[in-house]
Amino acid sequence: MSFVSYGLGNIIGTEIFWAKDAPKYIPGIIAVLALPTVPPFIYYPLRGINLRMNKQRKARLVHEDVQWERKRYTFVDLTDKQNLFFVYTA
């Protein structure tokens, strides 16, 4: 997305300043000052979505790991101390 935005910015940037607006180029200057305010409204919601998805994925993986460990050590027949030692050294 960053590369695409950069490329579009280079294309659009050349079209903002028109000869009819010379010598002050007021619309071009306004656009150059206003456009940097747009990315935070895009990036922060995307960041929130990514953080939420990562949190859900992590919770799911932890749950799957616990289920796998339970299934793995169900019939090993060890005491609690032996089981803890066996789990952390395996």
Please name which of 66, 67, 73, 71 lies closest in space to residue 90, comparing C-alpha atoms. 73
What pLDDT shows up at residue 67?
Answer: 75
Tokens found for residue 82 = 């032996």
Complete DSSP assignment for 58-79: HHHHHHHHHHHHHHHTTTS---
- Chain mean pLDDT for the chain: 81
pTM of the prediction? 0.50
The pLDDT tens digits of the residues spanning 72-85 come to 767 666 666 666 55
Helices (H) and strands (E) in the chain, counts: 4, 0
Average pLDDT value for residue range 35-44:
88
Could you state, in order of their start, the residue ranges of all structural domains in the chain?
Answer: 3-75
Q: Which long-range contacts (CB under 8 A, 24 or more apart) does 6-15 make?
A: 9/35
Q: Which residue has the higher pLDDT, 6 or 86?
A: 6
CA distance 4 to 8: 6
What's the pLDDT band for 49 if we cut at 50, 70, 90?
Answer: very high
What's the pLDDT band for 35 if we cut at 50, 70, 90?
Answer: confident
